[in-house]
Amino acid sequence: MIPIKIIKTALRALAVVPCALFLWVVYFTAGVAEALVCGVLQVIWSIILAGFSLACIIGVFVWLLTL
């Protein structure tokens, strides 16, 4: 009876390893995708803010020149 339980436990452990590996790959892929999206959004937001800041500086400079 005990060897059968040991064999069943070993088979369950062997079945869990591919499932855990698959879940790790899915989790890792989702994390990489999230990091890429966040990085792209951060770059786009930085460009927008830099453009807005430049427009404000140019606007103030033009305003000072027209005084």
Confidence of residue 5 (pLDDT cuts 50, 70, 90): confident
pLDDT score at 14: 82
pLDDT digits (tens, 9 = 90+) for 7-29: 888 888 888 888 888 999 999 99
CA distance 61 to 55: 10
pLDDT score at 12: 84
pLDDT score at 1: 57
pLDDT score at 31: 93
Q: Give the chain's end-to-end CA distance (angstroms, integer).
A: 97
